[in-house]
Amino acid sequence: MLTSIFRWTHRHLTEGTVVLLDPDSGAEQKQAVLRAATYYRRFFRGEIAVQSDNPSFFKLLWMACRFRSVLTTGKYREPGFPINWLPWFHRIDPGIDAQAAWDWHIALSRTVKLPRDHRDTAYRAFQSLIERLRARRVERSYVFGTGPSLASADRRDFGDGYRIVCNTIVRDAGLMNQLKPDIIVAADALYHFSDTAHACAFREDLKARMRELDVTFCYPALFEAYVRQEFSEFGERCIPIPTGGSADLTRDLLKDFRLPDMGNILGLMLLPLACNLAKEVMLLGFDGRKPNDSLFWSNSERHSYPSLVEQLSREYPAFYEKYVPRSSPMAYVQTFHGDTLDLALSTAEQAGWRFVMMAPSTSPALAKRPLEYANWNSSESVR
């Protein structure tokens, strides 16, 4: 009871955010934090103050009571630090914390007060979208990733199915206008919802495509406080979906409005949305990681921002050290496109769903799925 009262009091009577910037942080990471603080200032409730001194324990306690959220870097993020257990302390040091970009949004979601019915509003918008799409009564869903094989998608007509595209495909205005996708998804705090040059380029292209096309943008509910402000012009065409469901790709999202906790955008959003619309799911642009690829895998240059990823890797080294360590470059693929995804796909197949690759993939789970239209680049139409 006392804990509940304390948390309510802190949430409703505190204001603003403070960033504790460790003076000993690396120059590139320090610059990344300062730039992020400047960028996010307009999204947070109240001001963002940056302090780079060494506050005493009592001053830290005062900050804990005074500010809605406290963002820490360097030594202030060590588990042994006396008050890091408080839920409004968030770790944003890109040189140490792999989830630094996510913690900005966790802090933002604590700070921004959303309407009480925002979850119900999101569900109603999603229900309307699914019902409108299902009314077309087509029998397959097309899912598009950003792998090199996507470069040949403009040779085909995908009008016989629902079309769901993945994040940076928005860079290619020509392909987007040809595909006329029903849904576009994005879910990465660093690549899509941060202050970085990569994320800014993605959002500008996404806005341009949403102005040109009648497409709906779906994303995890964690980013709702941000998207509601950044994409306000598009209203209910931006739909946040809660996460936290089991690894069930075929869950009826109209009955259980939660995305599966699958880690990667394919299992988290693309496949669940596709399975909610049709029982045959066709995949293109999921080539996987080849031995000579760097970082996660190769992308089609027309549908990604390769020159900006190098900048990300310098500014957020902890993210890459965790997910694609030099000692185990296949770790991410094996974790998110390996046994867990394979089991989820197999379970769905046993329930009557079918997953078909339109180009070869080296990802373990996808390589097991049937490869059809192997010569689909011929003039024959995919129907």
pLDDT digits (tens, 9 = 90+) for 22-31: 777 777 778 8
pLDDT category, 262, cuts 50, 70, 90? confident
Q: Which residue has the tokens 């944003």?
A: 92
Are 159 and 31 contained in the same domain? no
pLDDT at 76: 66
Residue 24 CA to its chain's centroid (Å): 31
pLDDT at 329: 66
Is the separation of the CB atoms in 83 and 58 below 8 Å? no
**pLDDT tens-digit profile of 42-59?**
898 777 888 777 777 777
- 274-294 mean pLDDT: 86
291 pLDDT above the threshold of 70: no
Are 21 and 134 contained in the same domain? no
pLDDT at 78: 60
Are 12 and 128 contained in the same domain? no
Are 95 and 183 contained in the same domain? no
pLDDT category, 195, cuts 50, 70, 90? very high
85: CB partners within 8 A, 6+ apart: none
Is the separation of the CB atoms in 220 and 186 below 8 Å? no
Are 91 and 129 contained in the same domain? no
In a domain, 253, yes or no: yes
- 97-121 mean pLDDT: 90
Q: Residue 243: which CATH number?
A: 3.90.1480
Q: How far apart are CA 118 and CA 52, in angstroms?
A: 37
pLDDT at 383: 33
Are 124 and 91 contained in the same domain? no
In a domain, 377, yes or no: no
In a domain, 374, yes or no: no
Instruction: Tell me the β-bridge partners of 217.
Output: 184, 238
* Average pLDDT of the chain to the nearest whole number: 85
pLDDT category, 3, cuts 50, 70, 90? very low
333: CB partners within 8 A, 6+ apart: 288, 289, 296, 297, 363, 364
Are 331 and 215 contained in the same domain? yes
Are 57 and 173 contained in the same domain? no
Are 219 and 316 contained in the same domain? yes
Range(s) of the domain holding residue 241: 118-367
Q: How many domains does the chain have?
A: 2
Phi-psi region of 354 (alpha: psi -120 to 50; beta: other; left: phi over 0): beta
**pLDDT tens-digit profile of 62-91?**
777 778 788 888 776 565 565 566 777 888
pTM for this entry: 0.89
* Nearest alpha-carbon partner for 269 in 287, 285, 288, 251: 251
In a domain, 321, yes or no: yes
In a domain, 78, yes or no: yes
Lowest-confidence range among 170-179, 277-286, 323-332, 358-367? 323-332
In a domain, 31, yes or no: yes
Residue 311's SS3 state is helix
Are 100 and 122 contained in the same domain? no
Task: Answer with the one of 57, 81, 111 that is the final residue of a domain.
Answer: 111
In a domain, 270, yes or no: yes
pLDDT category, 294, cuts 50, 70, 90? low
Are 101 and 122 contained in the same domain? no
Is 32 exposed, middle or buried (CB count within 10 Å of its CB: 0-12, 13-18, 19+)? buried
In a domain, 202, yes or no: yes
Task: Answer with the one of 78, 95, 111 that is the final residue of a domain.
Answer: 111
**pLDDT tens-digit profile of 132-146?**
999 999 999 999 999
Q: Residue 28: which CATH number?
A: 3.40.50
